[in-house]
Structure 1
Amino acid sequence: MRKGEATRARIVGEAARQAAMRGLTGVSLADLAEAVGLSKSGIFKHFDSKEDMHMAVVEAVMDRFAEVIWKPAEALTPGRERLEVIFERWLHWAEEEWPDSGCPVTALSVELDDQPGPLRDLLHKRLQGWRKTMVREFRALRDPPLSEAEAQAAYFQMKSFVLGHSDSRRMMGDDDAKRSANAAFEALLDRTCRAAA
């Protein structure tokens, strides 16, 4: 990686960290410049505009999301084995990768859900791609495959367990949150597999 690319990546990484805690609109150029050792004008040598930087943050967060959650499961057999690893990695993502803020994807979704424009469009496109991937994985959970509607409902529940885990752990201080989330997910997989019997 060339020096300019490394500097840009460092800026985006710090901006993502700030955005996860404060939202994109709360990213402080002064704090960002200080954290990466540049002037404000030095930051904008790497981006055409603040929105361009925000777009890079969304892309970087979603790329990291896929790297942490999907990549460890990609080589596994589609179906239960892969889904279990994805779920475990998804809980890890929020709790271990972003301990100071929680899941930045959730934070970005809350911030951008009623903000029409390129940023929302980009996040929506990436999240739609993730949902399609997960629906495909749930369809492969059993033979005969789940219907599209059944797979979408199963993914909805899976995502709800992830969000519930984050709320229970971070807001309520529940030390059993991970155990509860895993038990709920295993029960979902069991119910879904039994439904084919």
Structure 2
Amino acid sequence: MQATTDDPGREATDGRIRRGDRTRREVLRVAVDVASVEGLDGLSIGRLATALGISKSGLIGHFGTKEELQLATIRAARAIFARSVIEPALRKPPGRAQVQALLDGWLEYSSDRRFPGGCFFARASHEHAARPGAVRDALAVVDEEWLGLLAESIRGAQAVGEVAADVDAAQLAYELDAYLDSANLRSLLGRPGVYEQAARAVRDRLDAAAGVPDVRRPS
């Protein structure tokens, strides 16, 4: 017989599912912050269970293994990054303003410490880059997505004449991303003014790509 909305068994099941989803979200909220500072290897079932006041067995029931916890943490961090940086930028029409919004959004996401350790993916990628496996593969996909999106946005700017047609979009995306990574790392080392330096470097490089002359240099 088909369950109805008045079926107590169905309601109990739905309640367990909602509680489980809520617990999982709470675990990942803590996990992304811990991993941004201490790396994905800094995550442990015991530590998170203690921090959240739940049993180890309960947490294991949600994630199974440490690797599954790490992969879920990457997915959660990716969703936060998308909401913080990508979605606002893509609301702008294709052109230089969209490219600039992606880059400015990234610098703000890092400087505002959306994650306490700066860019989550910079920390995790340095940790796992030389360690083949599912975690590195997941991080590589996120990196490829970001650089691909940046290059695609640059091509959109080329299509409307705001970046020169002969510019290699993938190469320009690589160069611009290097400014972002440099600012993130040096900010963590305590060097002041690095986000302002990166923002200026980004503007100058986009000006050059658009063929705008640098008025600060003598002709």
TM-score (ref. length: structure 1): 0.89
1:27-86 per-residue CA deviation (whole Å, 9 max, x = no partner) reads 133321122121211211211222111110111111211111101111111121111111
Pairwise mapping of residues 50-89 of structure 1 onto structure 2 (< 5 A)?
Answer: 50-89=66-105
Say whether residues 1:159 and 2:171 are aligned partners. Answer: no
| Deviation, structure 1 residue 178 | 2.2
| Deviation, structure 1 residue 116 | 0.9
TM-score (ref. length: structure 2): 0.81
Tell me how far apart the structure 1 counterparts of residues 152 and 113 of structure 2 sit (CA, whole Å). 26
The answer for the alignment partner of 1:48 in structure 2 is 64
| Deviation, structure 1 residue 146 | 4.1
CA contact under 8 A between 1:70 and 1:86: conserved in structure 2?
yes
The answer for the alignment partner of 2:216 in structure 1 is none
Q: Which has the larger radius of gyration?
A: 2
Gaps of 5+ in 1: none
Tell me how far apart the structure 1 counterparts of residues 164 and 149 of structure 2 sit (CA, whole Å). 15
The answer for the alignment partner of 1:33 in structure 2 is 49
The answer for the alignment partner of 1:168 in structure 2 is 186
Deviation >6 Å, runs of 4+: none
Gaps of 5+ in 2: 1-16, 213-219
- CA pair 11-103 structure 1, distance change in 2 beyond 3 A: same
CA contact under 8 A between 2:111 and 2:195: conserved in structure 1?
no
Q: Which amino acid aligns with 2:181?
A: L
Q: Give the paired residue count.
A: 193
1:145-193 per-residue CA deviation (whole Å, 9 max, x = no partner) reads 645x71112111211111121233221331x222211111110110001
**Paired residue secondary structure (2:62):** coil
Tell me how far apart the structure 2 counterparts of residues 62 and 20 of structure 1 sit (CA, whole Å). 12
**Paired residue secondary structure (2:130):** coil
Say whether residues 1:141 and 2:157 are aligned partners. Answer: yes
Say whether residues 1:18 and 2:18 are aligned partners. Answer: no
CA contact under 8 A between 1:79 and 1:141: conserved in structure 2?
yes
